[in-house]
Structure 1
Amino acid sequence: MTSPALAQQTDFGRMYARKIGELPEVPSITTVIAQEKMDMDGWIGHMAATAVIQDERLGDAVGNSAKLKALARQASSAAAQYRDAAAARGDRVHQYCEQIALRALGRSHQAAQAREALAENGEEAFAGRFDEWWEQYQVQPLAAEVTVWNSTIGYAGTLDLVATIGGRLCLIDYKTRGTDREGRVKPLDPKVIMQLAAGAKAEEMVVDATAGTWEAWKYSQDPMLLGVAIGETEVQTVMANPEVLPAYWSKFWSLRQVWGASQRVRDAGSALHVVGPPASPANESAR
């Protein structure tokens, strides 16, 4: 996950401050969405089992309890290692996409360095497919990696790209995705709609993170909300269905209330107190 200048990791999840160096005030969009817990037990178990099966030392370990335990310990972290590697890859791809937008905006950029970082990790195909998408969709960027704020509900986030495509204002979120068995990019999770809906409800956007300068959100003119799945073989673009946006926004609002309630519970103090047994009748009579 990329780290915008105003974002900080806290005990309450990722949060945003109004100015660099100040304490964070509101949760990030992704932290709010994460209040809906996902059951990952099956995937974690699958990753661990796959790691054991694919380990070249398995044959030698069969029948040896100590060696099998060592393999099991290492395999138990397979899901976390996969997650961390995917997050690092996603950061590199996002960095490249941002630099391409900055270059198109005529601003200082490091597009060549970002592409080289992908090449060093065997990931240059992501850059190639993104370049093709950028050209095919004739993207006209307006702002890249723009941090937004909603004071009414109490959250902030960073939009990957604001652009015009085909004459339409678009709010865009990139997701780096793997490839399925048919060689197609894996589809996006519908939750991306919630993320985009929250971004569209922004009230302010940052101008200068160091100075803490903000201005009114100026990209609210009926934007098209696009999720862009970037893979090694292709890029797939999906649009949020306007008819379902109210439902997804309602769910996001509810999850924000859950986050706030969780903080109030945490700050409320000890929830349970030990209670002793009542006095016995004999003790009452002695009084």
Structure 2
Amino acid sequence: MSKFTAPMRRKETAKGHYYVDANNHRIPGVTTILGDGVPKPALINWAANATAEWAVDHFDELIEMSPAARLKKLSGARYETTDKAKKRGTEVHGYGERLVKGEKVTAIPDELRGHVEAYARFLDKFEVDPILIETPVVNYKIGYAGTLDLVAEITDSQGERRTLLLDLKTNEKGIFGETALQLAAYRYAEFYVDADGKEHPMPEVEGCGAILISSDNAQLIPTTSGPDQFKSFRIAAAMRDIVNNSRDLVGAAVQPHDPNPSIARIVYEEN
């Protein structure tokens, strides 16, 4: 039985987007599920190191602040790095979408010019012919939605034409394993939604991968995103539900049957 009711809609906000069904029930997004359901122990060390590095680089600024202001600044310091990375990724995605559609791209900021040129070369070298671009997908039965970056035909290293599901990444540290789960979720969605809001069965693909874009290169990185990885994604979704609903598993304090019992006394013996 489906958890949600068609059709799915993607709603835009100032901070991003989210998904709802026909009854305006919010459908969890793929990246949200993975963010909440997959443990990330390395982030603990990263957060500590990022905060320490920021404190060292801004020491003179910190000593001029009140203790409360200093604490607030340090608490948010690590997000400055992630915010910059997210902004760069979002902008590269935007230029990438226009490039793969064959649109003219102008007024590229200097700091992104290398990324855009690298992706343009990638499209030429692999003879990319897009099928779906920045397309919302949904699985009502499992209960998730998302937006895939690209389904396209490409010419592989053997000269064969293949249909692949691809995700653009700009992470300086490479492709993380959970990308394989993300792509599996997109791959096994039930439907995609076209520009007119109409739903169509998700097309089959021959494989999945990430396009890792840096300032001087764009690489095709294959991922294993099959049934086993889709199962892992579903486990992550279940873990997210457990974490989010765990407080409901703890009840209120139990009241005694007799609210006015005889008074208990403790007698201490003195030595």
TM-score (norm 2): 0.77
Aligned-partner residue type, residue 38 of structure 2: E
Matches within 5 A, 1:107-256: 109=103, 111-113=104-106, 116=107, 118-119=108-109, 122-166=111-155, 167-178=161-172, 186-208=173-195, 212-217=197-202, 219-220=203-204, 222-241=205-224, 245-256=226-237
Contact 1:208 1:214 in 2 (8 A): no
SS in 1 for 2:105: helix
Q: 1:36 aligns with which of 31, 35, 38?
A: 38
Distance in 2 (CA, whole Å) between partners of 1:155 and 1:276 is: 41
Q: Per-residue deviation at 1:130? A: 0.9
Q: Per-residue deviation at 1:230? A: 0.7
How many residues align? The count is 245
Q: Per-residue deviation at 1:162? A: 0.8
Distance in 2 (CA, whole Å) between partners of 1:162 and 1:82 is: 30
Q: Per-residue deviation at 1:255? A: 1.8
Task: Structure 2: state its 5+ residue gaps.
Answer: 1-8, 156-160, 264-271
Distance in 1 (CA, whole Å) between partners of 2:236 and 2:135 is: 23
1:199-237 CA deviation, whole Å, 9 max, x = no partner? 11021111245xx421222x21x4210111111122221
Q: CA RMSD in A?
A: 3.1
Are 2:200 and 1:258 equivalent residues in the alignment?
A: no
Aligned-partner residue type, residue 151 of structure 1: Y
The aligned counterpart of 1:6 is 10
Task: Structure 1: state its 5+ residue gaps.
Answer: 104-108, 179-185
Aligned-partner residue type, residue 80 of structure 1: Y
1:167-200 CA deviation, whole Å, 9 max, x = no partner? 100100011122xxxxxxx321011100111111
Residues 90-99 or 233-242, more deviating: 233-242
Aligned-partner residue type, residue 90 of structure 1: G
Change (3 A) 1:46 1:191: same
SS in 1 for 2:101: helix
Q: 1:50 aligns with which of 49, 53, 56?
A: 53
The aligned counterpart of 1:106 is none
1:37-75 CA deviation, whole Å, 9 max, x = no partner? 3232321221121112223737xx7xxx65595666534
The aligned counterpart of 2:28 is 27
Contact 2:130 2:151 in 1 (8 A): yes
SS in 1 for 2:163: strand
Change (3 A) 1:262 1:241: closer
1:112-135 CA deviation, whole Å, 9 max, x = no partner? 25xx2x416x22111111111111
Change (3 A) 1:143 1:276: closer
TM-score (norm 1): 0.74
Are 2:99 and 1:100 equivalent residues in the alignment?
A: yes
Aligned residues: percent identity?
23
Q: 2:251 aligns with which of 269, 272, 276?
A: 272
The aligned counterpart of 1:183 is none
Distance in 1 (CA, whole Å) between partners of 2:140 and 2:91 is: 31
Change (3 A) 1:276 1:192: same
Change (3 A) 1:153 1:276: closer
Q: Per-residue deviation at 1:8? A: 6.0
Distance in 1 (CA, whole Å) between partners of 2:154 and 2:113 is: 25
